[in-house]
């Protein structure tokens, strides 16, 4: 009787547990239907459960499955996957997303942050457990950390050992952008160019001369002061921010501190010297840019910072900021080589623990040759994109603030110059990183006059040291 | 036999979700990879101890516990002693002291921001007194603020535990002491504190557990890299997780557990000694 | 009672009332602010986390602590409840995660606690110590291995990945053992003499006496798991399965006004549960703390 009772209780307990679980599944039922609608919309599997598992990789009749994950759905990836599957019947590609749809405007910036945090946390945990997707779009993921912990495949040896891979087909400097001392762990499908759009006519009117192909920040400041002194069309040489996002000081802080990073952070001895007078001096110098009018925080200036994301974006930016405009190269740090500054986009890596690495590599090559995202890394695709735009003849820019925008004509000569800028791409812009985030987040107090440069520098030093010593 | 029927369900689940993961983590702290890594002996531990941030985090955690816990217990004891008598609105008061315990952390984060922000109410008051602003969360004040939040949340819990302890002390002990001419303070030291000691051990344990939970508030308020005075072991472990540094993460975890084991077993031993001594 | 005592009692009551008001203030402020309009919220609290240029009156830029709304409005609640279907579904997600955990851990915990408190077996105290240890460990300690185990069991991205570890948490065992330890042996011995088995003793003698302990445990577990952020973050990747705690951490940052209403709704179940079960809760906590 006594034991019977206990057994009964245990059974009841198990039933309860199971009931609880199944109950939960039904609670999230609304979500399942949402996923199904996602499928109807042509998004294959928005499941993010990041476990490929061996049984999946070698399932039904030796068919290999490559799991490819990215933060949000990408049409190009889907098309490429379909085409690749059609050409390779023994491979199936499963796309996996951190978000089931791309962010629209109503999702606040902060909300994105926590979604990113969730995506990185779950992908990290999967990668650390030796699972995770086979192929990863590294956007928002800690690629450096993956690399450091040998979680990504070295693609350098892949490229060297693969005769079908010809480096000459790609923009070489951009391709090498992900190169580090220990190897190369990701390849970009696309890149963007950073620089400025300048009002060519207004600049010519002031008579100020400069060589944007080789200028340093100091050269730029001098030029800026001359432009302001000329009292021409604009009050400021350049406005803070990028594109239409005018204002804030963190744009220049990031750019300039990133270019001077080596002066304040010694990566080998893991020491920061933001509390040095030099850094407070740099902050004051940046502030003087604003005070002297070289940098404005509202309205327009002779220059506008832009990131060129695609050929179309290039023309649209040139068109949007005046009738006679040109693209100018971003100023660089003293010791740096001159050239166009670029950022890699759609960086793809292969999971070092993947069971289908060869197949993933093959698909990665396919992606590099067959996708045309933004400014494509593949020279032929790049050229195609430009040709396509020329044939198209007009561009209708995206509407801003519900104001309807008029289509304009494609300027072939400008487009040809873009290829030149792309060929000259030489400097990888790297403005991410925890220390730079800390710098950008805390300098505002100085620029607004709330705190002294020294106080801000001390605070940055305090936090940067925590990061560096971890 | 019956033991296993009672203990069985718990033991199975407990092993699966807590014990085995911990043992795995312990093993990983001696290897160089997350899974099937090479055995590297105590390398991870030496790396860890070389990390100034880890040392800082450990120091801050100890400092927080060393300040927060005694302060919390002291204050709740004061409250308990004062409340341990018929008092107007007594049950209302008790309820209001305990309510913060059940309020979810995320619910009141904005309120803390309103007070401790650079433009916050506290600075507005300072300004009215003609004083300069203080960046509360970005200075050595930050730990004081977290101590305040910790006390706010836990004082009610500790108070009712101590109140129960107080009520379990027989009244005639005090009466006898009074007759013998012992003063209030003497009574408090030689009766109240002595007979409260068993409760105190429990309160201490619970307060330490709850002191670890304060990380949530801190994280929501100050993010992953707070001012270094506020940078605690959980920040370190959290950041190591996001940097995928399982080696340092598991090594730090193991060291933390060792400290907890030493501390708790010391506490339990002291409790046993005390019980033997009084009985 | 003489005058002096009466006076000091009154003074004490007043002091305490002030202190109680301070304790309740953060909760009250959240409640009051939840009934302000979005415009009023941003007018008063927009400066949080901002640096105002001293050239533009930044010297005197302070946010304004507003204790009473100009207009009493429920628009924030409408916003949360009607316009944001996410909130309600997450509310139920939370309930669907937390209820099984609370019920399960209370049950499993009391069974194990009985063994620890009233039965004798070799290694009992050592095993209990191990339970105690895991309770003291922060979540991050076993995060990665935990991921492996959950993945191995095929629970990833299912609510069981949160619920099962929750059910077997050590706190329930610890608290109930503390509680049961002070139920006098005389009672269990008497039942034994009457011929009752261990299970009968557990059901008929221990459980009824442990009611306050169970209530206290249930409330504490409810609070703890209603609050959890880290576990769902890692183990539930689908946004639709996320509990409310994650949602609130996001909304607080982006839309402050709605945040107050959501916060109030979020804490309401806890507060109501606490007020409803307060006397049990207090008694339960108190008995777990003193040695019988």
Return d(Cα A145, Cα C198) in angstroms, integer: 55
Give the per-residue pLDDT at C251: 67
Would you tell me which residues 248-277 of chain B have a C-beta closer than 8 angstroms to some C-beta of chain A? 248
3-state DSSP helix/strand/coil percent for chain B, to nearest 5? 80, 0, 20
Which chains lie within 8 Å of chain C at 3 or more CB pairs, if any?
A: A, B
Question: Is A466 in contact with B245 (Cβ distance < 8 A)?
Answer: no
Task: Please name which of B230, B57, B216, B232 lies closest in space to residue B142, comparing C-alpha atoms.
Answer: B230
Residue A38, pLDDT > 50, answer no
Here the contacts of A52-58 (C-beta below 8 Å, separation 24 or greater) are A52/A131, A52/A132, A52/A133, A52/A134, A52/A354, A52/A355, A53/A131, A54/A355, A57/A355, A57/A356, A58/A355
Give tens-digit pLDDT for C230-267.
777 777 766 666 777 777 766 666 677 788 888 888 88
**Cα distance between residue B64 and residue B149, in whole Å:** 12
Tell me whether residues B22 and C51 touch, CB distance under 8 A: no
> Residue C1: is its pLDDT beyond 60?
no
**Interchain CB contact of A467 with B (< 8 Å):** yes
A87 versus A217: the higher-pLDDT residue is A87
Inter-chain touch C23–B250, beta carbons under 8 Å: no
Nearest CB neighbour to A470, from listed B6, B36, B239: B239
Cβ separation of C158 and A24 shorter than 8 Å?
Answer: yes
Record: fold of A193-344+397-468: D-Maltodextrin-Binding Protein; domain 2 (3.40.190)
pLDDT band at residue A396 under the 50/70/90 scheme: confident
- Residue B262: CB partners within 8 Å, gap ≥ 6? none
- Write down the pLDDT at residue A366: 93
Helix, strand, coil shares of chain A, percent, nearest 5, are 50, 20, 30
* Average predicted confidence (pLDDT) for chain C: 81
- What pLDDT does A105 receive? 44
The reply to whether B132 touches chain A by the CB within 8 Å rule is no
Mean pLDDT of the region A23-34: 35
CB-defined contacts A:C, below 8 A: 141
Q: Answer yes or no: do A21 and C160 touch at CB < 8 A.
A: yes
CATH for C77-289, options being 3.40.50.300, 1.10.3720.10, 1.10.10.10, 1.50.10.20 = 1.10.3720.10
Instruction: List the single range of A395-409, A427-441, B59-73 with lowest mean pLDDT.
Output: A395-409
Predicted interface score ipTM higher than 0.90 = no
Eight-state DSSP code of residue A71:
S
- CATH code of domain A38-190+345-380: 3.40.190.10
Residue ranges of domains in chain A: 38-190+345-380, 193-344+397-468
pLDDT digits (tens, 9 = 90+) for A278-298: 899 888 888 888 888 888 877
Q: Where are the domains of chain C?
A: 3-74, 77-289
Name the residue in chain A with its Cα closest to that of C255.
Answer: A108
Least confident residue range of A410-424, B69-83, C132-146: C132-146
C226–B contact, CB cutoff 8 A: yes
| The pLDDT value given to residue A401 | 61
- Min CA distance, B24 vs chain A (Å)? 12
State how far the Cα of C220 lies from the Cα of C213, in Å rounded to an integer: 11
DSSP, collapsed to helix, strand or coil, labels residue C21 as helix
Domains and CATH numbers, chain B: 53-278 (1.10.3720.10)
With an 8 Å Cβ cutoff, are B109 and C252 in contact? yes
Yes or no, beta carbons of A462 and B227 under 8 Å apart: yes
Residue from C13, C29, C62, C94 to probe the interface with B (highest B Cβ count within 10 Å): C62
Cross-chain residue pair C159–A445, CB shorter than 8 Å: no
Whether C28 has its CB under 8 Å from any CB of chain A: the answer is no
pTM of the model as a whole: 0.81
| Mean pLDDT confidence for A309-327 | 88
Does A463 contact B228 at a Cβ distance shorter than 8 Å? Answer: yes
**Nearest chain B residue (CA) to C118:** B3
Q: In chain B, whose CA is at the least distance from the CA of C9? A: B87
- Amino acid A103: pLDDT: 56
Model pLDDT, residue C39: 84
Main-chain phi, psi angles of B244, to 5 degrees: 60, 25
Residues C233, A50: C-beta atoms closer than 8 Å: no
Q: How would you label A423-432 residue by residue, b for 16+ Cβ within 10 Å and e otherwise?
A: ebbbbbbebe
Residue A445 has pLDDT above 80, yes or no: yes
Please classify residue C1 by burial: count the beta carbons closer than 10 Å to its beta carbon, then call 0-12 exposed, 13-18 middle and 19+ buried. exposed
For residue C43, pLDDT over 70 is answered with yes
Q: Name the more confident of C250 and B228.
A: B228
């Amino acid at each position: 009787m006594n034991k019977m009772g206990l057994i009964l209780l245990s059974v009841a307990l198990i039933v309860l547990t199971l009931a609880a679980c199944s109950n939960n599944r039904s609670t999230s039922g609304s979500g399942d239907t949402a996923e199904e609608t996602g499928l109807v919309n042509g998004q294959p599997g928005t499941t993010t459960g990041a476990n490929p598992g061996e049984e999946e990789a070698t399932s039904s009749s030796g068919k290999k499955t490559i799991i490819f994950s990215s933060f949000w759905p990408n049409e190009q990836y889907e098309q490429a996957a379909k085409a690749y599957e059609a050409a390779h019947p023994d491979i199936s590609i499963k796309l996996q997303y951190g978000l089931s749809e791309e962010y629209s405007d109503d999702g606040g910036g902060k909300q994105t942050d926590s979604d990113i945090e969730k995506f990185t946390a779950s992908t990290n945990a999967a990668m650390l457990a030796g699972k995770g997707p086979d192929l990863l779009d590294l956007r928002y993921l800690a690629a450096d950390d993956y690399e450091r912990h040998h979680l990504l495949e070295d693609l350098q040896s892949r490229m060297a050992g693969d005769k079908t891979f010809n480096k000459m087909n790609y923009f070489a400097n951009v391709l090498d952008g992900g190169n580090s001392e220990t190897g190369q762990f990701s390849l970009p499908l696309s890149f963007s160019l950073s620089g400025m759009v300048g009002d060519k006519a207004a600049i010519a009117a002031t008579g100020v001369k400069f060589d944007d192909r080789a200028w340093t920040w100091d050269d730029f400041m001098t030029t800026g002061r001359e432009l302001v002194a000329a009292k021409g069309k604009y009050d400021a040489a350049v406005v803070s921010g990028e594109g239409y996002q005018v204002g804030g000081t963190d744009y220049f802080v990031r750019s300039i501190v990133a270019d001077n990073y080596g002066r304040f952070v010694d990566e080998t001895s893991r020491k920061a010297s933001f509390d040095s007078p030099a850094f407070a001096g740099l902050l004051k110098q940046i502030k003087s840019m604003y005070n002297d009018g070289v940098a404005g925080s509202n309205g327009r200036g002779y220059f506008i910072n832009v990131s060129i994301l695609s050929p179309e974006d290039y023309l649209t930016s040139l068109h949007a900021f005046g009738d006679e405009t040109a693209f100018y190269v971003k100023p660089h740090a003293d010791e740096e080589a001159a050239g166009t500054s670029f950022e890699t986009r759609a960086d793809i890596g292969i999971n070092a623990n993947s069971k289908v690495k060869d197949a993933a590599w093959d698909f990665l090559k396919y992606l590099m040759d067959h996708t045309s995202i933004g400014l494509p890394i593949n020279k032929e695709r790049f050229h195609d994109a430009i040709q396509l735009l020329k044939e198209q003849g007009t561009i209708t820019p995206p509407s801003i603030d519900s104001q309807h925008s008029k289509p304009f004509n494609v300027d072939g000569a400008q487009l040809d110059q873009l290829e030149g800028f792309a060929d000259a791409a030489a400097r990888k812009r790297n403005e991410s990183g925890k220390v730079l985030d800390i710098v950008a987040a805390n300098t505002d107090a100085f620029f607004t006059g709330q705190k002294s440069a020294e106080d801000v520098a001390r605070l940055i030093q305090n936090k940067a040291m925590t990061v560096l010593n971890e | 036999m019956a033991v296993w029927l009672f203990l069985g369900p718990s033991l199975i689940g407990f092993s699966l979700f807590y014990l085995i993961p911990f043992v795995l983590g312990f093993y990983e702290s001696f290897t160089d990879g997350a899974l099937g890594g090479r055995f590297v002996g105590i390398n991870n531990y030496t790396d860890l101890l070389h990390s100034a941030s880890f040392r800082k985090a450990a120091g801050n955690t100890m400092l927080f516990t060393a300040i927060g816990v005694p302060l919390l217990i002291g204050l709740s004891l004061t409250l308990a002693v004062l409340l341990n008598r018929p008092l107007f609105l007594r049950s209302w008061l008790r309820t209001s002291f305990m309510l913060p315990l059940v309020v979810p952390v995320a619910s009141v984060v904005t309120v803390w921001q309103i007070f401790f922000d650079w433009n916050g109410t506290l600075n507005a008051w300072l300004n009215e007194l003609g004083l300069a602003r203080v960046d509360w969360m970005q200075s050595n004040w930050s730990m004081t603020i977290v101590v305040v939040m910790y006390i706010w949340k836990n004082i009610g819990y500790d108070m009712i535990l101590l109140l129960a302890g107080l009520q379990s002390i027989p009244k005639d002990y005090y009466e006898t002491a009074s007759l013998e001419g012992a003063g209030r303070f003497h009574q408090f030291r030689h009766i109240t504190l002595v007979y409260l000691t068993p409760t105190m051990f429990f309160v201490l344990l619970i307060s330490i557990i709850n002191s670890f939970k304060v990380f949530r508030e801190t994280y929501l308020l100050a993010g992953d890299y707070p001012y270094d005075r506020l940078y605690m072991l959980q920040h370190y472990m959290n950041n190591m997780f996001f940097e995928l540094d399982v080696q340092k993460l598991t090594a730090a975890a193991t060291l933390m557990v060792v400290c907890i084991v030493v501390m708790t077993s010391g506490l339990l031993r002291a409790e046993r000694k005390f019980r033997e001594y009084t009985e | 009672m003489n005058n002096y005592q009466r006076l000091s009692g009154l003074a004490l009551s007043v002091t305490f009332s002030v202190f109680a008001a301070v304790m309740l203030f953060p909760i009250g402020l959240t409640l009051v602010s939840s009934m302000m309009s979005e415009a009023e919220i941003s007018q008063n609290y927009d400066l949080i986390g901002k640096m105002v240029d001293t050239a533009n009156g930044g010297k005197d830029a302070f946010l304004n602590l507003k204790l009473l709304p100009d207009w009493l409005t429920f628009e924030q609640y409408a916003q949360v409840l009607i316009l944001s279907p996410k909130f309600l579904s997450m509310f139920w997600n939370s309930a669907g995660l937390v209820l099984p955990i609370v019920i399960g851990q209370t049950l499993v915990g009391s069974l194990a606690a009985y063994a620890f408190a009233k039965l004798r077996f070799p290694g009992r105290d050592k095993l209990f110590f191990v339970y105690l240890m895991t309770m003291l460990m922060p979540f991050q300690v076993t995060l990665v291995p935990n991921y492996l185990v959950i993945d191995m069991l095929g629970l990833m991205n299912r609510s069981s990945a949160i619920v099962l570890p929750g059910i077997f948490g050590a706190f329930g065992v610890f608290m109930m053992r503390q509680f049961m330890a002070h139920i006098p042996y005389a009672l269990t011995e008497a039942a034994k003499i009457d011929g009752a088995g261990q299970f009968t003793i557990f059901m008929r003698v221990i459980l009824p006496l442990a009611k306050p302990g169970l209530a206290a445990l249930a409330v504490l577990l409810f609070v703890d798991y209603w609050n959890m952020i880290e576990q769902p973050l890692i183990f539930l990747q689908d946004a639709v399965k996320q509990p409310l705690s994650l949602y609130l951490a996001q909304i607080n940052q982006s839309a402050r006004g709605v945040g107050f209403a959501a916060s109030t709704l979020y804490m309401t179940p806890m507060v109501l549960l606490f007020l409803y079960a307060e006397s049990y809760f207090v008694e339960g906590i108190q008995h777990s703390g003193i040695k019988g």
